Amino acid sequence: MVSSAPHSVLMFDQHCSRVNGRRVRLTTSRPIPTPPEQFGDLDRWLASFTSWERQVPLAKDRRSLSPDRCRDLLERASICSGRSPVIQVAGTKGKGSTVLWMESLLRIRSVPCAATLSPHLQSIVERIRIDGAELTEQAILQGLRKLHPFLIDSSDPSSVPPTFFDLWIALFAQQASEAGDRWWLLEVGLGGPLDSTGAIPHDVGVLTTIDLDHQAILGDTIDQIAAEKARIATAGKPMVIAQGPGNDCAFDVARRRGSLPFIVSEDSRIPGHIQSPQRLNASCALAALESNPDQPPWSANEIYLAAQQLELPGRLERIDGQFPLLLDGAHTPRSLQIFADEFARYRSSSAGALLIGMLADKDLRSNLSALTRLQPAPEMMAVTPPSHRGLPAAELASILEQLGFECHFEEHPEQGLEWLMKKAADGEPTAATGSMFLAGWVRQHWPQRDRQASC
């Protein structure tokens, strides 16, 4: 239930100024506009809410990374999970896939569930799902209007406005609670204990595969990143940890926090046609669900049926139609290795053509060296992903050439996509990889087609 509140909402901005030669912190207020009536205007309204990614360039003492704002927002709006089982999934790779596996496994048994995913590929509606269905545009607008009166504690001048992620997790919780008792499946957006999903206490924690990513925030080594993400572990609650690099460190952190950690390897019940890394993601999903004593173990047939209905967009996805395409949002060392191996199988004996775009905040030379396993080397086209963090295409092409590739570049994705389609029309096996922003853009603009994720 969402309680009533006054409709006047002020956003308090804190900034530094000089008064009599001294640097002081001043607080000013401005109204938070009411959410728009039209979905097409939503991006402009959301742009006023700071995201973690835009805070990364700030000094660490100026970043405000914490679930507290989201927790306060949920309390003001009287939103809680109630008796619903909650599973929180952190990790570097496989978080979203693990959430979607859990959703599919629950739906096979007609168990109601709500899921939140981050990031989205093509549309923001993908971030909230109720029983496998994306939230409608109208439901999003109505939900945000209900939350609007509670966005700021207007009685507290030091109240900090929510980030985009705080807002979206609150919207998820609102929609899930209004839908009735059901499982809540939470994908951590970035990191672990400081993520907005931490505002919702979980019954089971999950840590999927760890890789090098977001080192500026999480740490420079696999073990440091695993330790940071493992801090979602809660005393007395099960903690599922995927077997792989950093799992021992994560296990130790989780145990010290009083949780009940266990390391999960590939489950023998997973159908043989499911490929790595989805076998491990599915195994983590099963372990998390079966930690609930009310759920008997899933049979091999149930798992097979769940796999049949599962869709994993942008994750080693094979797109068939006028022009076949292998699409994958691979941008870490391990995920690029997996992509390279899959593309090698996909292209068979041909060199193929590859469209690639990366974000600027990655260890690019180290990450992209994974593609050198592609022999013969594919013809490459670098583009700038549609993101404020996108690496300029010319810089990406230069790095790839230093690694021994021949690489064309075009600043705009449209020109790169046209190049890739020409290669496909000539019969070349084609693929696109790198930033999830690019994967989503390509998926939206590739000709209408049937899609099949490479499980």
pLDDT digit string, tens, across residues 136-192: 999 999 999 999 999 988 777 677 788 899 999 999 999 999 999 999 999 998 888
Domain-wise residue ranges, the chain: 33-309, 317-453
pLDDT score at 190: 84
Rounded mean pLDDT, 46-51 = 74
pLDDT tens column, 5-14: 334 454 544 4
Q: How confident is the model at residue 21 (pLDDT cuts 50, 70, 90)?
A: low
Convert the pLDDT of each residue in 196-212 to its tens digit: 999 999 999 999 999 98
- Between 23 and 369, the more confident residue is 369
pLDDT at 3: 38
Residue 187's φ and ψ, nearest 5 degrees, are -95, 120
Select from 386, 431, 419 the least CA-distant residue to 409: 419
DSSP-derived 3-state class of residue 358: coil
Query: How far apart are the C-alpha atoms of 241 and 225, rounded to whole Å?
Result: 14
Greatest Cα pair distance, the chain, in angstroms, is 74
Where does 179-269 have alpha helices with state H? 215-218, 222-229, 247-256
Superfamily of domain 33-309: Mur-like, catalytic domain (3.40.1190.10)
Average pLDDT over residues 24-31: 48
Three-state DSSP class for residue 337: helix
pLDDT at 18: 45
The pLDDT value recorded for residue 154 is: 74
Q: Mean of the pLDDT values across residues 92-121? A: 97
Residue 150's alpha-carbon distances to 8, 38, 416, in angstroms, are: 10, 21, 44
281-333 pLDDT, tens digit per residue, is 999 999 999 999 999 999 999 999 999 999 999 999 999 878 999 999 998 99
Cα end-to-end distance, the chain, whole Å: 39
Q: CB within 8 A of 22, min separation 6: which ones?
A: none
pLDDT of 156 reads 78
pLDDT confidence tier of residue 135, bands split at 50, 70 and 90: very high
Averaged pLDDT score across all residues of the chain: 89
What is the topology classification, in CATH, of domain 317-453? Protein-Tyrosine Phosphatase; Chain A (3.90.190)
Determine the pLDDT at residue 32. 83
At residue 51, does pLDDT exceed 70? no
pLDDT band at 215; cut points 50, 70, 90: confident
What is the per-residue pLDDT for 25?
Answer: 44
pLDDT at 28: 42
Mention every residue, 6+ apart, whose C-beta is less than 8 A from residue 384.
357, 390, 391, 392, 393, 396, 411, 412, 413
Question: pTM here?
Answer: 0.88
> Mean pLDDT, to the nearest integer, of 70-99?
95
Write down the pLDDT at residue 66: 82
CB 95 within 8 A of CB 104: no
CA distance 204 to 85: 8
Report which of 191, 228, 217, 189 is spatially closest to residue 63, judged by C-alpha positions.
Answer: 217
pLDDT at 451 over 70: no
